[in-house]
């Protein structure tokens, strides 16, 4: 846009120079005519170079000096008032090239003084007088140059601001496109994490129940000849556990959303313990406090209990477990230990269950630790933070009851 404006200014300069040439020709003075033609040709050539060839502003300074010399010659040779108009055309190109308001003002003030010098020199050389008409003409031209400066400077500033705003909009569009791309990637990552979460939930719930069913049916098989009544009892228990596993699969989505159907964490854990011990030879001692914790963390602890019981029975051959759930001012601590075969701590492989358990605990702001020794069983410890407000509410309630 600015380049088109510069071309317009250049064309206007050519028109004005041609007008001066025609005027000089009509006067019929060969010296004046050829002087105007020569100066006009030089000024047009210089402004062509300045407009189309020179890019850096500091390299154009010499061209403005030539412009002033040309205007001086034209003023002396022709004495025409078109010199003021040509002066404004030259200044227009300067204002369009300069992005410095202070520099524009210095250029305007300098050319105002130079214009006065041109007019005074012209009066002296042409033996004119310094009368009211002269002063009025000079003042009018200086006022016009001032108005021209104000309009050009304001126009260029508005264009610059509009250009900056357009670039800002373009940058915002690009940032929005990048944000949209990042959002799509995040949505894809979230979907993957959600699928992993569902897989782990099914692994925890159904895996635990099916392990219990296998142990019950295996116990029934071993005693079916010696004690049919006991075997029948275990088969019935296995049947109930299988139905429970089916129900857990159907409700896995509800568990993922954190819905516990109004039951407390203590009730849920005691039910898991009861379902595991019924119909099996596994002994489970539980010391579970009625802790207050967010539902998402409660669901995680329930799944951890199921996972730990299943792993202990399947991989460690455990026949006894100790379940503890405690809460202090800021932390809920869950511990599950068994009497299984155990392994060396350095050889603990955090498979699907243990890895998921550890990452989930960390995602909830807590930690999960595993410890074991050969023939010393396996122990899982999970520590989760309690919400500050919940801790304060408990303290207030305790103080109130006290």
In this model, does residue 94 exceed pLDDT 90? Answer: no
Tokens of 10: 């250049």
Confidence (pLDDT) at 99: 67
Higher per-residue confidence, 374 vs 324: 324
pLDDT digit string (tens) for 177-211? 888 888 777 767 766 766 666 666 666 666 667 77
Higher per-residue confidence, 193 vs 142: 142
Task: Using pLDDT thresholds of 50, 70 and 90, give the confidence band for residue 351.
Answer: low
Of 205, 399, 186, the C-alpha closest to 300 is 205
Distance CA 235, CA 217 (A): 6
22-31, 169-178, 247-256, 289-298: least confident range? 247-256
pLDDT digit string (tens) for 232-266? 877 877 776 676 666 666 655 555 554 556 678 89
Strands 320-327 and 283-288: parallel
Contact at 8 Å (CB) between 384 and 366?
yes
Higher per-residue confidence, 323 vs 12: 323
Find how far residue 340's CA is from the centre of its chain. Answer: 50
Please return the burial class of 401, using the count of CB atoms within 10 Å of its CB with bins 0-12, 13-18 and 19+.
exposed
Confidence (pLDDT) at 383: 96
Contact at 8 Å (CB) between 94 and 111?
no
Tokens of 238: 């296995």
For the domain made up of 188-401, give the CATH fold.
Heat Shock Protein 90 (3.30.565)
Which residue do the tokens 């404006």 mark?
Answer: 5
The pLDDT mean for the chain works out to: 77
Confidence (pLDDT) at 79: 60
The structural domains of the chain, with segments of one domain joined by +, span 2-128, 188-401
Most confident of 50-54, 220-224, 282-286, 396-400: 282-286
In this model, does residue 119 exceed pLDDT 80? Answer: no
The predicted model gives 105-131 an average pLDDT of 76
Most confident of 103-117, 319-333, 377-391: 319-333
In this model, does residue 391 exceed pLDDT 50? Answer: no
Tokens of 321: 């477990």
Confidence (pLDDT) at 176: 83
Task: Using pLDDT thresholds of 50, 70 and 90, give the confidence band for residue 385.
Answer: very high
- What is the full DSSP assignment across 247-289? HHHHTHHHHHTT--TT--HHHHHHHHHHHHHTTSS-EEEEEE-
Distance CA 381, CA 362 (A): 13
Contact at 8 Å (CB) between 117 and 75?
no
Most confident of 17-26, 110-119, 179-188, 355-364: 355-364
Q: What is the DSSP letter of 376?
A: S
Distance CA 7, CA 338 (A): 90
Most confident of 57-71, 141-155, 316-330, 381-395: 316-330
9-13, 195-199, 237-241, 291-295: least confident range? 195-199
Strand order in the sheet with 320-327: 283-288, 320-327, 331-338, 378-385, 367-372
pLDDT digit string (tens) for 303-332? 899 888 888 887 888 999 999 999 998 999
Confidence (pLDDT) at 34: 77
Counted residue by residue, the chain has a size of 402
Q: Is the dihedral of CA 301, 303, 307, 313 positive or negative?
A: positive
pLDDT digit string (tens) for 213-223? 788 788 888 88
């Amino acid at each position: 846009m600015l380049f088109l404006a510069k071309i317009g200014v250049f064309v206007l300069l050519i028109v004005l120079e041609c007008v001066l040439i025609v005027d000089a020709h009509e006067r019929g003075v060969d010296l004046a005519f050829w002087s105007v033609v020569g100066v006009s040709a030089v000024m047009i050539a210089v402004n062509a170079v300045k407009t189309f060839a020179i890019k850096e502003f500091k390299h154009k300074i010499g061209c403005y000096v030539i412009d002033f010399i040309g205007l001086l010659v034209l003023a002396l040779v022709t004495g025409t008032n078109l010199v003021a108009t040509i002066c404004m055309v030259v200044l227009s190109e300067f204002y369009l090239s300069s992005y410095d308001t202070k520099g524009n003002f210095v250029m305007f003030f300098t050319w105002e003084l130079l214009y006065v010098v041109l007019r005074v020199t012209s009066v002296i050389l042409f033996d004119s007088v310094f009368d009211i008409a002269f002063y009025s003409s000079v003042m009018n031209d200086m006022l016009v140059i001032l108005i021209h400066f104000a309009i050009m400077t304001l126009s260029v500033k508005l264009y610059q601001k509009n250009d900056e705003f357009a670039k800002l909009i373009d940058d915002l569009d690009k940032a929005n496109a990048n944000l949209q791309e990042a959002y799509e990637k995040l949505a894809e990552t979230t979907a993957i994490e959600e699928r992993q979460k569902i897989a782990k939930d099914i692994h925890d719930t159904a895996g635990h129940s099916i392990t219990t069913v296998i142990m019950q049916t295996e116990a029934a098989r071993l005693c079916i000849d010696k004690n049919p009544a006991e075997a029948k009892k275990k088969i019935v228990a296995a049947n109930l556990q299988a139905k429970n596993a089916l129900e857990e699969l159907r409700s896995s989505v509800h568990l993922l959303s954190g819905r516990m159907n109004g039951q407390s964490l203590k009730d849920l854990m005691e039910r898991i313990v009861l379902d595991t011990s019924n119909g099996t030879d596994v002994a489970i001692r539980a010391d579970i406090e009625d802790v207050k914790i967010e539902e998402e963390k409660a669901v995680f602890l329930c799944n951890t209990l199921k996972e730990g019981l299943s792993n202990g029975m399947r991989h460690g051959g455990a026949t006894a477990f100790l379940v503890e759930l405690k809460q202090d001012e800021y932390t809920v601590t869950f511990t599950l230990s068994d009497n299984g075969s155990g392994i060396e701590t350095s050889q603990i492989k955090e498979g699907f269950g243990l890895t998921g358990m550890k990452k989930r605990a960390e995602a909830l702001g807590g930690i999960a630790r595993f410890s074991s020794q050969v023939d010393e069983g396996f122990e899982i410890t999970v520590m989760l933070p309690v919400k500050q407000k919940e801790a304060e509410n408990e303290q207030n309630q305790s103080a109130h009851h006290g």
